[in-house]
Amino acid sequence: MRLDCSASVPERAVAARITVESGRTLALLGPNGSGKSTMLEVAAGLLRPADAHVTLGGADRVLCQDATAWLPPHRRPVTLLTQDPSLFAGMSVLDNVAFGPRAAGHGKRASREVARDWLDRVGAADIANAHASTLSGGQAQRVALARALATRPAVLLLDEPFAALDVDAAGHMRTLLSTVLADLTVVMSTHDVLDAAMLADDVVVMHDGAVAERGTRAEVLGRPRHSFTARLVGRGLVRVDASTWTAPRPSQVSLRLAADLPESSTAEDTWHGTVARVEGHDDVARVWVDTDAGDLVADVDPLIIDRRILTPGAAVACTVASDVETYPA
């Protein structure tokens, strides 16, 4: 079901609007504190700002909140899964998953039947009778996912579903989600570009409580138009001219000291700038350069590069490979 959620929450400096079309997965991409969770809480009805508008569906829409209307969270066909699985203690795994169907008024036996089915789909059928408090983080998050799916939500909201998991468990969870989310309408908040790249159809980038840009996954992640998005996906972003951008990958940019540049060289694909910061990425040094046209980033081999380049403030010349795509602003 289509979700349209707009809200202004001055207490948290958030003002944004997100929409997701029926059957699609929207990634809400941004760092901590950018307002992702706030938007999900408004959609779920856990936060009730004075100024918000939440509707579900198209023609036969369900009005969740506007200036006068208010649908409490338990009446919204929306389920929120947070990074903390929050399984109910004192209940078996099976009864945790059966909680939603039970709350919807189904009998104990029928609810457990449904729960068993969902546990099977998330690959947790073998722990159905375990006590919720005995599970590992990865297992618990699987069960929490089954519990959320068992409510058959019209829209599933995932708030940083991998943030509390270790690398292995997060990987398994990502693979699992890529199969179970296929036909659902989903909004997933994440600070990890990989989640958006692997799971989303559409991406909304949030920055400082507002939407920085939005579009299809390929458009937003492949052709960033906001310096913040470019930084998230680990690319530089410069204006080639007034109406054209380019976002080269770190491997497509080479650096040398500005002083070493032959005086005659005024090639179009060379930008002058100063080194802003240097990060370690495995065995390469990633150098971020401020230029007049935007930021560029280059991966260099610290073993062979002139060390003066690795010093913030160094004046450098950046050369971008000729095959890098340019696109309209």
Q: Please tell me the distance from the alpha carbon of residue 77 to that of residue 90, in angstroms, as a whole number.
A: 26
Nearest to 202 by CA among 57, 29, 44, 80: 29
Instruction: Provide Rg for the chain, Cα atoms.
Output: 24
Among 25, 38, 83, 151, binds other proteins (CB under 8 A): 151
Helices (H) and strands (E) in the chain — how many of each? 9, 18
Between residues 103 and 321, which has the closer beta carbon with respect to other proteins? 103
Per CB under 8 A, does 122 bind other proteins? no
Ranges within 53-72 binding other proteins (CB under 8 A):
72
What does the per-residue mask of binding to other proteins show for 69-108, with x meaning CB under 8 A? ---xxx-x-xxx-x-xxxxxxxx-------xx--xx----
Rule CB under 8 A: choose which of 9, 16, 56, 132 binds other proteins: 132
Q: Of 29, 44, 220, 247, which one interacts with other proteins (CB under 8 A)?
A: 44
Size, binding site for other proteins by CB under 8 A? 34
Contact call for residue 161 and other proteins (CB under 8 A) = no
Q: Is 46 in the site for other proteins (CB under 8 A)?
A: yes
- CA dihedral sign, ordered 247, 252, 258, 262: negative
For the CB of residue 51, give the shortest distance to other proteins in the complex, in Å. 21
Q: By C-beta, is 104 or 259 nearer to other proteins?
A: 104
Residue 126 to residue 93: CA distance in whole angstroms: 10
**β-sheet with 14-20: strand ranges across:** 14-20, 3-9, 51-56, 62-65
Angle between helices 167-180 and 137-149 (to 10 degrees): 20
State the DSSP H helix or E strand holding residue 158, giving kind and residue range, or none if neither. strand 155-159
Binding site for other proteins (CB under 8 A): 44-46, 72-74, 76, 78-80, 82, 84-91, 99-100, 103-104, 132-137, 140, 147-148, 151, 157
